[in-house]
Amino acid sequence: MSDLAAGRITPEEATRRFDALGATPEQRAPDARSAEVRLLDQHLPAAKPEEFLIRYADPGRPALPMTPELQAFDTSVRAWLSGAEFPRDSGNSRVTQIERTVRATKGMTPEQLESYGMVEYERLERAYGDTLDEKLRAAAVMIDALDKKQPGLKALLQSNGIGDNALVVAQIIGQAECWHARRKGR
């Protein structure tokens, strides 16, 4: 497409090449993405749902059988990660951090979970300062959009201290910035 746009090939030659490749109409269209989005897509490509590595067992233990419920949960998690446009490695890192959080908070009482949330929020305040509220609002917009498409994300983040964990929240904040940038540049 860049050769056609630059005048290095004729429209007929471009059509011949596209036909030989079996290109779809969308693939033949000019790239309308902004330079910022093209850069994001180049360096932080959004992964497909099946590219994420999700384990359903503690390290060193055999994987849990994929019951219909676990399969539905797995499908949802992959849809959220893909919908948030996480790159594979970042999405996998988020899954790992969620697993660690669930293990750390597993036996906590509601009071302990509340205390845990306050300590984690203080960590976020130290890291983001005056910009924290704005960043949390932007992340909430992304989360709300994802939850509307595939319900359950908000409930997941509200369970086991997952949405309180400073590292999980920081990863969501960072991804929300990319997510919003892609929407502006499309």
Read off the pLDDT of residues 35-52 as tens digits, 9 standing for 90 and up.
787 777 788 888 899 998
pLDDT band at 175 (very low <50, low <70, confident <90, very high): very high
pTM of the model: 0.76
CA distances from 155 to 19, 150, 151, 161, 171 (A): 47, 11, 8, 11, 18
pLDDT band at 24 (very low <50, low <70, confident <90, very high): confident
pLDDT value at position 144? 97
The vertex-60 CA angle with 59 and 61, nearest 5°, equals 95
pLDDT value at position 54? 84
Q: Dump pLDDT digits (tens) for 135-151.
A: 999 999 999 999 999 99
Q: Dump pLDDT digits (tens) for 86-116.
A: 999 999 998 889 888 988 999 999 999 999 9
Summarize the confidence of residues 72-81 as an average pLDDT.
Answer: 90
C-beta atoms surrounding 55 within 10 Å: 13
Residues ≥6 apart with Cβ < 8 Å to 66: 56, 74
CA nearest neighbour of 168 among 91, 56, 80, 111: 91
CA–CA separation, 64 and 62 (whole Å): 7
CA distances from 58 to 50, 52, 66, 108, 119 (A): 21, 17, 15, 18, 26
